[in-house]
């Protein structure tokens, strides 16, 4: 197992990319701490992961902690990370998959919506990195996996706050990679294309006919379809494990060819 004995924190772990990554990591033996604002989704995720572990022969199922927390709330990440360390004594992997999008141009986005999007995406990434880095420094290493977007490179219409936040995550990823490389801490970003997640469905639902933006998005990917969360999880597994031991400050595209086209 590629992650046996390792402890991974995944924000946004109740659904979408975060949940798919939690399942993939669990199959590789990781202990998991999942963070999400949706307590019901977290409970369902934990039950699924424990059942998976039992099916794999673990008597009590996968080892899972859950935190119904707002990743952008000051102090929440530190408290949750402290609880993880109190139970398992280390944090080897952080994946910041929690995200939020409201749509809108610079002119149509309300100030409170701008703040909320940057708080969840960029603020949540920053706060959770701050919370786990001291433990990773003590351990002599770790892997931080941020989740940006192909839109951070390509740009896009009608989603200014989200795209700005994802672009800032790329810059933050690079500077953290440089700041902590000498201590064995690797920091890399995944740039997904349009992935079949609840957040994407909500984005399409903002259109009078959700089928219209969905069809346009599919057409924009040279592979001719939307991505699956499990495909992003495979990239996360690579960045979490020893196979990426010489990879830091990098951007892994899982975008169906969007940026190439």
Name residue, tokens 């997904």: 192
Is residue 162 annotated as part of the catalytic site, yes or no?
Answer: yes
Pseudo-torsion of CA 65, 42, 114, 94, nearest 10°? 30
Phi/psi class of residue 146: alpha, beta or left (left: φ > 0; alpha: ψ in -120 to 50)? beta
* Whole-number Å distance between alpha carbons of 155 and 181: 29
Q: Which of these is catalytic: 100, 162, 180, 258?
A: 162
Angle between helices 76-88 and 124-139 (to 10 degrees): 30
* Nearest-angstrom CA–CA distance, 138 and 188: 20
What's the CA gap between 210 and 233, in Å, rounded?
26
- Per-residue b or e along 10-46, where b marks 16 or more CB atoms closer than 10 Å to that residue's CB: bbbbbbbbbbbbbbbbbbebbbbbbbbbeeebbeebb
Residues tagged active-site: 162
């Amino acid at each position: 197992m590629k992650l046996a004995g390792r402890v991974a924190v995944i924000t946004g772990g109740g659904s979408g990319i975060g949940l798919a990554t939690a399942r993939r990591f669990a199959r590789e033996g990781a202990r998991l701490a999942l963070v999400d604002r949706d307590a019901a989704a977290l409970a369902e995720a934990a039950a699924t992961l424990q059942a998976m572990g039992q099916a794999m022969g673990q008597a009590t199922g996968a080892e899972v902690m859950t935190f119904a927390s707002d990743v952008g709330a000051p102090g929440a990440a530190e408290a949750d990370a402290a609880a993880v360390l109190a139970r398992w004594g280390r944090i080897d992997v952080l994946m910041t998959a929690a995200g939020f999008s409201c749509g809108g141009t610079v002119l149509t986005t309300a100030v409170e919506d701008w703040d909320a999007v940057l708080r969840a995406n960029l603020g949540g990434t920053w706060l959770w990195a701050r919370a786990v880095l001291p433990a990773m420094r003590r351990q002599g290493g770790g892997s931080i996996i941020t989740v940006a977007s192909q839109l951070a490179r390509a740009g896009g219409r009608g989603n200014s706050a989200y795209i700005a936040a994802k672009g800032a995550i790329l810059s933050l990823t690079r500077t953290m990679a440089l700041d902590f490389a000498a201590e064995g801490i690797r920091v890399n970003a995944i740039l997904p294309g349009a992935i079949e997640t609840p957040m994407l469905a909500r984005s399409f639902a903002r259109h009078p006919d959700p089928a219209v933006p969905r069809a346009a998005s599919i057409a924009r990917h040279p592979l001719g379809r939307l991505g699956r969360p499990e495909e992003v999880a495979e990239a996360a597994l690579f960045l979490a494990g020893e196979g990426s031991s010489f990879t830091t400050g990098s951007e892994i595209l899982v975008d169906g060819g969007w940026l190439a086209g």
